[in-house]
Amino acid sequence: MSTNSKSSKTTASNKSKDGKAHKLSLKGSAKLVSEFFEYSINSILFQRGVYPAEDFMPVKKYGLNMLVTNDDQVKAYIRKIMSQLSKWMLGGKISKLVVVITSKETGENLERWQFDVQLLGKAATAAKSKIKTEKEIQEEIQSLFRQITASVTFLPMLDGRCSFNVLVYADGDAEVPMEWGDSDAKEIVDGEKVTLRSWGTSSHKVDTLVSYRLAE
């Protein structure tokens, strides 16, 4: 496991009630996107078998039965990432989060899950006459997590032991902790790409793409 930072941009916010359309504040939207990333990392690690199924415990989130790691080391690692990522999100410094699954035997990158975050400007926000309800946002997130779950039907089986890395693309002027380092993009060489569903708030839009190495 390792954490890396790179260069780019993003921001966030929150607030809403049962079925009524309340504009989510920028701060609330940022918190929602950060939280989504945390559950996405956990979901990918479980669905792709990076760690044994017994290392996960069920929780209820987004109206779905989700699974999150129960391994202390992995939890601490994800918590460290999320702590920094949340700060960058609030400052509008994030443009992309990437989860890369790598073979421990060969060091080859096998899968690359990319989440692009777009901070919607005032003009774009104003152009949207209909503000999404909390229920509509949750339904969009549900649809994406169902796709992540269903990804096992088209992604090649991961053979052997694997590890994962998280890459965070932050603005060049973002304050980076000492223990974080630069990284290459860890692209999948000659890989296939599948675009998954997008979701968003009035302040942010998240696009998802998975690329993977074809089984030989």
pLDDT of residue 75: 93
Q: Comparing 19 with 8, which gets the higher pLDDT? A: 19
User: Which domain, by its residues, includes 28?
Assistant: 3-212
Count of domains forming the chain: 1
Confidence of residue 183 (pLDDT cuts 50, 70, 90): confident
Query: pTM, whole model, 2 decimals?
Result: 0.83
76-126 pLDDT per residue, tens = 999 988 988 888 888 888 889 999 999 999 999 999 999 999 988 754 444
188 in Cβ contact with 108 (< 8 Å): no
Confidence of residue 5 (pLDDT cuts 50, 70, 90): very low
User: Whole-angstrom Cα distance, residue 160 to residue 157?
Assistant: 10
pLDDT of residue 130: 62
Q: Comparing 183 with 66, which gets the higher pLDDT? A: 66
- Classify burial at 203, counting beta carbons within 10 Å of its beta carbon; exposed 0-12, middle 13-18, buried 19 or more: buried
CATH code (residue 140): 3.30.900.10
Q: What is the mean pLDDT of the chain?
A: 82
Query: To which H or E segment does residue 209 belong?
Result: strand 204-212
